[in-house]
Amino acid sequence: MNKAVEAFLADVWAEVTAIYAKESQRIHELNKQSRLQAGIHNYLQVAWRKGKFNWAQGSIHIDVYEPFSWSDSSYKIEAGSYIEELTDELLIQEFFPALWGRMDALFRSEGLGPRFFDYRFEILFVFEREQSELRLSHHMVNESKLAELKESLDHFIQTKILSDPPVLPSENDMFFFARHLTNPDVIKQDEKAVGPLIRRLTDKLRSNRKRLDEWTGHYTSALNDWAQEHFLNQHFVRPDDYSTNWVLKAESGRQAPDPGEMDFFLFAALEIGGREPHTRQKYLELAAQLGSGKAANYLQAGSGEFESTYKGSWMEGRNNDVTQTIEIRILSEEEQAYGEALDYLIGLLREGFPKGYKLQLKSGQKHFLPLKKLAKSKLHQFFGNALQYPALFPKLAEYAETAMEEFSWYGDVEPSEKSVMPGTYAVFGLGLYSESYFPLVCRYMELVDTEHQLVQDSYAEAFVEAHGVKAEQVPVLVEILLGGNEEARPVKNIAIDRPELADALVRVLQDKKDYERELVLCRIFGSAQKLAKAAKKEQPPLKDRLEQLLSLLT
């Protein structure tokens, strides 16, 4: 071996082995490593970065994790004068084969521990000169380790995914399972193989909102990474790493998409759309640019499972289940038009149309509910208009019963504090306009996700403004208060100033849990201290009833 190559290799390998020794100790001390993680390290980059004024006055950079473009976390060491003697020929024929040969031997051993290396490994070498750059790479696969991973994954799927509840995977396993869904080495990149696994675990986690959110985030992120790093990079370029714009490569620089990969990309776009509808839209548009007729049809008319257009006597409708949008055009601002539109919406939802849709409305009326926190969206406007016709209240209730779904949100606003569960606008309006729908309001408040939705916090004030505070309505008011977020502010216009109101409140709260009593009383009185002060100021029998309420907190 050339003396300069030998010296360069010695410096590089000494640094790599020193880094790996520290990493091995760190990995050995890790707890709860997932059975679905074959190992941690799968990348090594060795680079000579030229000096600012003289290429030979640079330094050796070593990365044991794939570096981000916006950071410099390399280990840096100085090199000897041998660096000037290294020609591209020596680097290609002697240095790099020797480097990856040593790396391959270490990779296939268990000298650093069985979990140190992943089943695959990439080594990249970069050498910068004044006017040129040499780049070399080599990929390795440990077939026996890959076989063990496949076996572990198959066992995991059978015992943790396909098995009946209450058996669930650990949080750590869920992350790696999501990543394997986009790994062609272990699972075929096909909707028929991946889709049922996503749906099965999603169904098993529906009763656990926190775990479901984590799982959705994991598989959405995995599919997004596959879409960008594997599929889109083949056919498009981005101006920079932060841009969301993808520009089609020149025809001479790209190949026609593989049909199987295109199908999986479309599947990924639809799955990602549940959490990121704008990304779904963008990906379908990019697929259409590549000549996908299926993507173009998705954008134009949806999946084909629903009749995409409707022409009635009083209104016209269009829908697209893929983009989860519904368009309604009111031809005549009359009760019949909104009745026909409600029938159209109810029919779509009963056929399985996504309940978290976004509505595009063409109407000459603009009515909204008297709740400041509600977004003044087209969807809100539609229900505000429909609520102007009392004869439609039963149909609005039918719609609400059909639409309400826990842990789901309309798509009429960007995910934010104004996001609301399907059915919200209809339920809130009916509860303000008619006592007949108080039971519907109570069912809604029992179902609403109080951890992730906030707009219902302001409903109690609007409810009292509409109906006042009456003893017979106290049970409904309590359910509304309990449907609020734990950090909801006290309601300003609730006054428990008559013995019968306090009596009714005592009767309702006696059957509630301690934390529910505290939440309700704090939202009415502000705090236990303020309730105590209010009791001191009053005369019997109201004083006695307020003290009885106070006793419920102890």
Give the per-residue pLDDT at 239.
76
8 touches 79 (CB < 8 A): yes
Q: Each residue's pLDDT tens digit in the chain (554 positions)?
A: 899 999 999 999 999 999 999 999 999 888 778 899 999 999 999 999 999 889 999 999 999 998 876 667 899 999 999 999 999 999 999 999 999 999 999 999 989 999 999 999 999 999 999 999 999 999 999 999 999 999 999 999 999 999 998 999 998 899 999 999 999 999 999 999 999 999 999 999 988 888 998 999 999 999 999 999 999 999 999 877 666 789 999 888 788 999 999 999 999 999 999 888 889 999 999 999 999 999 999 999 999 999 999 999 999 999 999 999 999 999 999 999 999 999 999 999 999 999 999 999 999 999 999 998 899 999 999 999 999 999 999 999 999 999 999 888 999 998 889 999 999 999 999 999 999 999 999 999 999 999 889 999 999 999 999 999 999 999 999 999 999 988 889 999 999 999 999 999 999 999 899 999 999 999 999 999 999 998 888 889 988 989 999 898 87
Written as one string, the DSSP assignment of 349-407 is HHTT--SS-EEEEE-S-----S-TTS---HHHHHHHHHTT-GGGHHHHHHHHHHH--TT
Which pair of tokens denotes residue 161?
């995914």
φ, ψ of residue 208 in degrees (nearest 5): -125, 95
The Cα–Cα gap between 426 and 95 comes to 72
Q: Tokens standing for 183?
A: 């790994």
Sequence-distant (6+) residues with CB within 8 A of 46 are 12, 16, 60, 61, 62, 99, 123, 124, 125, 126
Q: Are 506 and 471 in contact (CB under 8 A)?
A: no
pLDDT of res. 69 = 66
Q: Give the angle 285-287-290 at the CA atoms, nearest 5°.
A: 115
According to DSSP, residue 451 is labeled T
Distances in Å between the Cα of 154 and the Cα atoms of 18, 37, 262, 284 are: 36, 13, 26, 32
Distances (CA, A) of 292 to 43, 237, 268, 281, 366: 35, 19, 15, 14, 40
Tell me which residue has tokens 């990304």. 279
Q: How many CA atoms lie within 13 A of 517 on its CB side?
A: 19
In sequence order, what DSSP letters do the residues of 462-524 get, joined into one string? HHHHHH---GGGHHHHHHHHHTS-TTPPPPTT----SHHHHHHHHHHHHTS-HHHHHHHHHHH
Long-range contacts of 209-216 (CB under 8 A, 24+ apart): 209/407, 209/449, 209/451, 209/452, 211/168, 211/171, 211/174, 212/407, 214/171, 214/174, 215/174, 215/178, 216/274, 216/275
pLDDT of residue 242: 66
- For position 140, what pLDDT does the model report? 97
